[in-house]
Structure 1
């Protein structure tokens, strides 16, 4: 007898696809697949390489194609256990994703995770406009979980970027971001006072709890680490991890990727060597890193 139930959980992943350089879908797909989750890609654009450190790359905008893909998925009556969005190429694409969430979240309990890809180091990425920042705030309001870095949190809150921000102020930012809609807010790339460590701070509105993980800062810049972190968060929550377990697992995985990559001499713009450590995603999490703050 044919069973209509899905044998594994399914994620609609709305990201760009870069042919070279590990970022977005070339990171999302192997990570979630390794966590035994089916990835259904909804590409926002196809690039020859990602944009970090490469020049003269080709860029194919798939805005119109996104509508065709979504239309077909509707005809197939697909359902998803999670909707996970990352880099979006235009204000129009943000509108498309909001409509996608509204339609595909009606039929079941669908986890909505938004990685609000806007910028880093206090600056917007070259392709991001002020209009997109404004619309990203609307998209955030439709989510259950968001994973901004410190820069993106500043833009979402209209705050000045400051690496010396206090933990008490960060607590207020986490709550303000949650007030925009998401139940769970995770801010990454938060340096400590000494700048020798980097932190991940999270807030869970239901329990009114704040979580914190701090790791030694590795002086290396690899693209795709944010995509890797958010992807592990998606997989962990779908597989039943608690919020602190999810951020612990994601932080440990990214740290392991960085350490595995830093030992080799190759251009950092090519991304982390996640292939060498994908098997660690299904290892038991030690749960020694996180703390309540």
Structure 2
């Protein structure tokens, strides 16, 4: 047993803007988790709203990282991957899971590919197909609504019922993951807009939902922050619904703390103002069985 839980975080690093490793490291560290980053690329800024950013592709270094860690017999309580820039990177992450997976560790894959009904400019259907193969090795996946649709070959711009989303989660679980979490699920039926996170635990055949009021602002990197809090909660011993609740509460707090300030939202949420809340006891507020 490690005196401090240890996570291998396979993500990119942006010098400016709160996303990927810039958010993941402080969040998990605040929750008492050691983060061991395996950077996939280094960027001057993240890509959400910035132009002319510099980009250093670290694909050629990733296997060297992996092999050195393996030679040192380093092990991890969790393997956690996010945005991947190429099919080759997806294949390297697949190898990493094969090398470092144990009976006791957790494999979490955030299949970052798109949002708001479309793929990111760096993605194509070959990437989607390879991501389908990668999630087969996961214990937990955390796609947003758009990414879930692409993984299933469904229309990401469709209006959908809760029953249909549950069907989607079952279909995604049949690809391999034990737990499927879909974030940013829209609510098209209520007068006051809400956003939902839905989860399905295949082993228990149970569905969970956590809701939050919609705030009309978009901040890049909130998906990275949510999954990081989820991972931290689970490693601390939270149940799945409690970890979901913790993640949604934290992101809601981040957005509310940021929304009142006038600054470019492309910089991300004001993470530094709310990190200390991760050390407080979680107040169960909104998760429900569905």
Same fold (TM over 0.5): yes
- Provide the rounded CA distance (Å) in 1 between the counterparts of 2:198 and 2:148: 12
- Provide the rounded CA distance (Å) in 2 between the counterparts of 1:290 and 1:41: 31
What per-residue deviation string (whole Å, max 9, x for no partner) do you get for residues 156-188 of structure 1? 000011352001111100111111111111101
- Provide the rounded CA distance (Å) in 1 between the counterparts of 2:268 and 2:186: 22
Unaligned runs of 5+ in 2: none
Unaligned runs of 5+ in 1: none
Residue 138 (structure 2) aligns with: 143
| CA deviation after TM superposition for structure 1 residue 206, in Å | 1.4
- Provide the rounded CA distance (Å) in 1 between the counterparts of 2:59 and 2:122: 15
Residue 281 (structure 2) aligns with: 284
Structure 1 residue runs of 4 or more that deviate by more than 3 Å after TM superposition: none
What per-residue deviation string (whole Å, max 9, x for no partner) do you get for residues 19-70 of structure 1? 0000000000000000100000000000000001000001111001111111
Contact 1:163 1:190 in 2 (8 A): no
Residue 240 (structure 2) aligns with: 243
Q: TM-score, normalized by length of structure 2?
A: 0.97
Contact 1:257 1:273 in 2 (8 A): yes
- Provide the rounded CA distance (Å) in 2 between the counterparts of 1:155 and 1:191: 16
Question: Is 1:273 aligned with 2:270?
Answer: yes
Alignment of 1:1-293 (within 5 A): 5-106=1-102, 108-193=103-188, 194=190, 196-293=193-290
- Provide the rounded CA distance (Å) in 1 between the counterparts of 2:95 and 2:37: 17
- Provide the rounded CA distance (Å) in 2 between the counterparts of 1:286 and 1:110: 27
- What SS class does the counterpart of residue 88 from structure 1 fall into? coil
- Provide the rounded CA distance (Å) in 1 between the counterparts of 2:74 and 2:158: 43
- What SS class does the counterpart of residue 52 from structure 1 fall into? coil
- What SS class does the counterpart of residue 39 from structure 2 fall into? coil
